[in-house]
């Protein structure tokens, strides 16, 4: 049985690698993908670590970073709620739920909503606004299945429904994530994670806002309504490989260090690094850094990639049979107001 499980894990690793090659990056496609809300990070812990902990993320917090980690949640039921102020006053609200189902595995559910606020309606006749306003609706909902194949190997799979609505136009699609975690690789505390994310068919907007009034070239039929054909757009597919090392120093101190490489198909590739210090499993200090050496330089000659350092803190405290964790993250952004996030995780 153990050999069969290991063979299954090996095949999963091969399938993930094949998918990564099939969706390998192409510089000519940079900036051409849509549905970027799929790539917005969530959760105070992950954001503070610069997204570098996909190899050791666990529980409901792992659904976004690596769905395989959902299989390792310690509570029977775990819920996560997170709120973040993003670029240009955009709000991101996220919720996730993980439920252990015995030998079958662990099921997860998540929802992410993007709040853009009110945006003035502009037209060719009123380029500064016609006095009306609208608010786009971007919602992503997903279902995750994860299972621990052995005490070292876990895998997870997420299927998400992506919906976008702007005025009277809308687009919908599906996205798939698959991830694997391998724990205690070669030495105790060394973990490996691999994930392929946002794989799915293209999306296209449709709706009454694409109707336009025009007159045929001959002018014999007068003015009529015609439907403009909106161009389709791809999902922001990517592949991530992460590694981490966790070591205990006595009974009270734990240090975890993580690194990740992200191959973006439609953006420059990223490198992430982060560290977490835990005292007595109760208090946590975190820091991370993200950089993209391929990004172009700005007018001052500096790298124009908008993300760089992040940091945060957390507290974990059980209350009776309820396990509570509160995490905060600060993320510095070049050219924009810094971003901050707070999340609460509850285990039963």
- Residue 266 is assigned to a structural domain of this protein: yes
- Residue 324 is assigned to a structural domain of this protein: yes
Q: How many domains does the chain have?
A: 1
Q: What is the pLDDT of residue 7?
A: 56
Q: Are 69 and 53 in contact (CB under 8 A)?
A: no
Q: What is the pLDDT of residue 33?
A: 81
Q: What is the pLDDT of residue 94?
A: 97
Q: Are 238 and 268 in contact (CB under 8 A)?
A: no
pLDDT 10s digits, 105-126: 999 999 999 999 888 888 888 8
- Residue 98 is assigned to a structural domain of this protein: yes
Q: What is the pLDDT of residue 29?
A: 62
Percent of the chain with pLDDT strictly greater than 70: 89
- Residue 131 is assigned to a structural domain of this protein: no
Strand partners, 164: 138, 171
CATH classification at residue 151? 2.40.160
Q: What is the pLDDT of residue 13?
A: 54
- Residue 25 is assigned to a structural domain of this protein: yes
DSSP reduced 3-state for 317: strand
Give dist(CA 336, CA 348) in Å, integer: 39
CB-neighbour burial class of residue 229 (10 A; exposed 0-12, middle 13-18, buried 19+):
exposed
Give dist(CA 242, CA 20) in Å, integer: 14
Helix H or strand E encompassing 167: none
pTM here?
A: 0.88
**Tokens for 277?**
């210090």
Q: What is the pLDDT of residue 113?
A: 97
Q: What is the pLDDT of residue 266?
A: 77
- Residue 210 is assigned to a structural domain of this protein: no
- Residue 307 is assigned to a structural domain of this protein: yes
Low-confidence stretches of the chain (pLDDT < 50) are 1, 21, 23-24
Residue range of the domain that includes 62: 2-109+144-155+178-195+236-347
Give dist(CA 46, CA 87) in Å, integer: 18
Give dist(CA 93, CA 266) in Å, integer: 24
DSSP reduced 3-state for 164: strand
- Residue 116 is assigned to a structural domain of this protein: no
Q: How far is CA 297 from CA 193, 293, 303, in A?
A: 31, 10, 4
**Tokens for 180?**
């694997």
**CA angle, residues 77, 58, 185, in degrees to nearest 5:** 140
Mean pLDDT score of the chain? 88
Q: What is the pLDDT of residue 17?
A: 52
Q: How far is CA 217 from CA 210, 214, 220, in A?
A: 20, 9, 8
- Residue reference for tokens 């998540």: 110
DSSP reduced 3-state for 305: coil
């Amino acid at each position: 049985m153990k050999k069969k499980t290991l063979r299954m894990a090996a095949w999963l690793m091969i399938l993930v690698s094949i998918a990564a090659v099939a969706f390998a990056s192409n510089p000519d496609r940079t900036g051409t993908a849509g549905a970027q809300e799929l790539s917005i990070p969530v959760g105070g812990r992950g954001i503070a670590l610069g997204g570098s902990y996909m190899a050791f993320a666990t529980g409901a917090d792992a659904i976004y970073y690596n769905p395989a980690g959902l299989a390792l949640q310690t509570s029977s039921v775990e819920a996560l709620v997170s709120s973040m102020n993003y670029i240009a006053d955009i709000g991101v609200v996220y919720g996730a739920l993980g439920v252990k189902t015995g030998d079958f595995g662990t099921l997860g559910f998540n929802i992410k909503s993007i709040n853009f606020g009110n945006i003035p309606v502009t037209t060719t006749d009123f380029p500064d606004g016609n006095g009306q306003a609208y608010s786009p609706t971007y919602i992503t909902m997903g279902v995750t299945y994860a299972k621990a194949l052995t005490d070292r190997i876990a895998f997870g799979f997420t299927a998400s429904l992506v919906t976008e609505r702007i005025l009277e136009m809308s687009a919908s699609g599906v996205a798939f994530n698959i991830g694997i975690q391998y724990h205690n690789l070669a030495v105790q505390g060394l973990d490996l994670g691999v994930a392929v994310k946002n794989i799915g068919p293209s999306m296209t907007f449709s709706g009454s806002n694409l109707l336009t009034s025009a007159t045929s070239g001959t002018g014999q039929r007068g003015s009529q309504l015609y439907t403009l054909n909106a161009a389709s757009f791809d999902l922001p597919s990517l592949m991530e490989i992460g590694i981490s090392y966790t070591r205990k120093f006595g009974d009270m101190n734990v240090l975890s260090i993580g690194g990740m490489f992200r191959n973006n198909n439609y953006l420059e590739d990223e490198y992430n690094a982060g560290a977490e210090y835990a005292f007595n499993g109760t208090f946590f200090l975190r820091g991370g850094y993200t950089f993209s050496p391929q990004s172009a330089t700005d007018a001052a000659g500096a790298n124009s990639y908008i993300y760089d350092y992040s940091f945060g803190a957390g507290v974990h405290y059980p209350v009776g049979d309820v396990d509570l964790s509160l995490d905060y993250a600060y993320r510095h952004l070049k050219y924009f107001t810094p971003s901050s996030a707070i999340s609460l995780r509850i285990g039963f």
